[in-house]
Amino acid sequence: MEVRTFFETFKMIRKSFPTFVCFIFLTVSLFNINGATAGERFHITVDHAKIMRINKPAATVIIGNPGIADATVQDAHTLVITGKSFGVTNLIVLDGDGEPIADALLTVRGERVDAVTVYRRTQRVTYSCSPNCERSLALGDNDDAFGSVKSQVEERNAFAGGAAPQQ
What structural domains and CATH numbers belong to the chain?
40-109 (2.60.40.1080), 115-160 (no CATH)
Query: Are residues 100 and 93 in contact, defined by beta-carbon separation less than 8 angstroms?
Result: yes
Residue 29 has pLDDT above 60, yes or no: no
Average pLDDT rounded to a whole number, residues 145-150: 85
Q: Which residue has the higher pLDDT, 142 or 35?
A: 142
Residue 166 one-letter amino acid: Q
Per-residue pLDDT tens over the stretch 49-103: 999 999 999 999 999 999 999 999 999 899 999 998 889 999 999 999 999 999 9
29 vs 22: CA distance, rounded Å: 10
Residues 70, 7: contact at Cβ < 8 Å? Answer: no
**What is the rounded distance in angstroms from the CA atom of residue 39 to the CA atom of residue 136?**
35
Higher pLDDT, 98 or 10: 98
